Amino acid sequence: MTKQQLFEQIQKKRSFLCVGLDSSLDKIPEHLLKYENPILEFNKQIIDATKDLCVAYKPNTAFYECYGKKGWETLTETWKYIPQDIFSIADAKRGDIGNTSAMYAETFFNEKSSEMSFDSVTVAPYMGSDSVTPFLTFKDKWVILLALTSNAGHADFQLLETGADKLFERVLKTSQEWATDEQMMYVVGATRGAAFGDVRKLAPNHFLLVPGVGAQGGDLKEVCKYGLNSQCGLLINSSRGIIYAGKGKDFAEKAREEALKLQQEMEQILVKADLV
Ligand SMILES: O=C(O)c1cc(=O)[nH]c(=O)n1[C@@H]1O[C@H](COP(=O)(O)O)[C@@H](O)[C@H]1O
């Protein structure tokens, strides 16, 4: 999917919501356990209930890989179930020496070999250019590079002074030599609200994937105050806050209610910013 196509979806749906499919057997409603593949059934019902309210889905691969062969099959079938016009994110946080990254890119982007072709994959920048560039050889596919993450541990490395700037700022600057804003997005945690101004100074036109709204307590309004750009430029992710909003048979309706609340907030923000 291109940047323009993503923006068009945002305008059409009046939403920049990404629903995180961090689905695990110990958290999904009990009545689903009778299905042959309970997590797939859960994901399908969540997707059916939210697909008109969001523009992206983000399965975090850890929640699938932990179930071995069956988990990988669930990830593949979940990708197949995500409607084509919704941006799909393999949240795999990969990155390795070049030839290994090339195989990771095949895994998530080459449908012929892996039966999956996500629009994007999350990548850690720590190993540098050759660990990231193999993901950029696929047309209309995206790298979502970790910049300033939502977790407490972000301060251990990302805020270190490198001389002229902090490490996450160096990531934002240097990685722009590898790809344009048509192929690269950045992860900036919603819990880092105050830093969005600094991020936008360095990456004014990039889309930012923003996790941390909902269960981690990030503030949507604060993020949008500094994070919004002329093509919206934000994908706001909520995983647990949406998918586990209900614990019973009405879990999909409850998920929809939570997604709707966020979508309505986003609509107001888009209208106010004159983007729809
Ligand atoms: O790359 C990510 O998606 C990510 C980066 C980050 O800085 N913080 C973060 O929480 N995430 C992911 O975003 C999701 C957040 O889930 P909830 O806290 O349940 O909404 C999880 O899949 C995390 O792995």
pLDDT digits (tens, 9 = 90+) for 205-222: 999 999 999 888 899 999
Is 24 a pocket residue for ligand 1 (Cβ < 6 Å)? no
Report which protein residue has its CA nearest ligand 1's atom 4. Answer: 211
CA dist list (Å): 158 to 193, 221, 233, 236, 272? 15, 24, 22, 21, 33
Is 122 a pocket residue for ligand 1 (Cβ < 6 Å)? yes
Note the pLDDT of residue 139.
93
What does the angle CA 166 – CA 200 – CA 130 come to, to the nearest 5 degrees? Answer: 60
Note the pLDDT of residue 214.
83
Is 93 tagged catalytic? yes
Q: Say how far apart CA 176 and CA 124 lie, in whole Å.
A: 15
Q: How many CB atoms lie within 10 A of CB 139?
A: 8
Note the pLDDT of residue 193.
84
Is 149 a pocket residue for ligand 1 (Cβ < 6 Å)? yes
Report which protein residue has its CA nearest ligand 1's atom 12. Answer: 211
Tally helices (H) and strands (E) across the chain. Answer: 13, 8
Give every CB contact of residue 152 below 8 A, 6+ residues apart in sequence.
Answer: none
Q: What is the Å distance from ligand 1's center to 212 Cα?
A: 6
Helices (H), the chain: 3-13, 38-50, 62-65, 68-81, 98-109, 111-114, 129-132, 154-157, 167-175, 196-202, 220-227, 240-243, 251-272
Best mutation site among 17, 21, 22, 144 for ligand 1, i.e. most ligand atoms within 8 A of its Cβ?
Answer: 22
Best mutation site among 142, 159, 187, 235 for ligand 1, i.e. most ligand atoms within 8 A of its Cβ?
Answer: 187
Low-confidence ranges of the chain (pLDDT < 50): none
Note the pLDDT of residue 192.
87
Q: Say how far apart CA 127 and CA 160 lie, in whole Å.
A: 17
220-244 pLDDT, tens digit each: 999 999 999 999 999 999 999 999 9
Q: What is the CATH number of domain 3-272?
A: 3.20.20.70
User: Alpha-carbon Rg of the chain, whole angstroms?
Assistant: 18
Is 43 a pocket residue for ligand 1 (Cβ < 6 Å)? no
Best mutation site among 46, 50, 58, 60 for ligand 1, i.e. most ligand atoms within 8 A of its Cβ?
Answer: 60
Q: What are 130's two structure tokens?
A: 């050759």
Can you spell out the DSSP letters for 66-101? TTHHHHHHHHHHHHHHS-TTSEEEEEEEE--SHHHH
Classify 148 as helix, strand or coil: strand
Q: Do 67 and 38 meet the contact criterion of CB atoms below 8 Å apart?
A: no
* pTM greater than the 0.95 cutoff: yes
Is 191 a pocket residue for ligand 1 (Cβ < 6 Å)? no
Report which protein residue has its CA nearest ligand 1's atom 9. Answer: 211
Note the pLDDT of residue 227.
96
Q: What are 251's two structure tokens?
A: 């879990």
Question: What ipTM was estimated for this complex?
Answer: 0.98
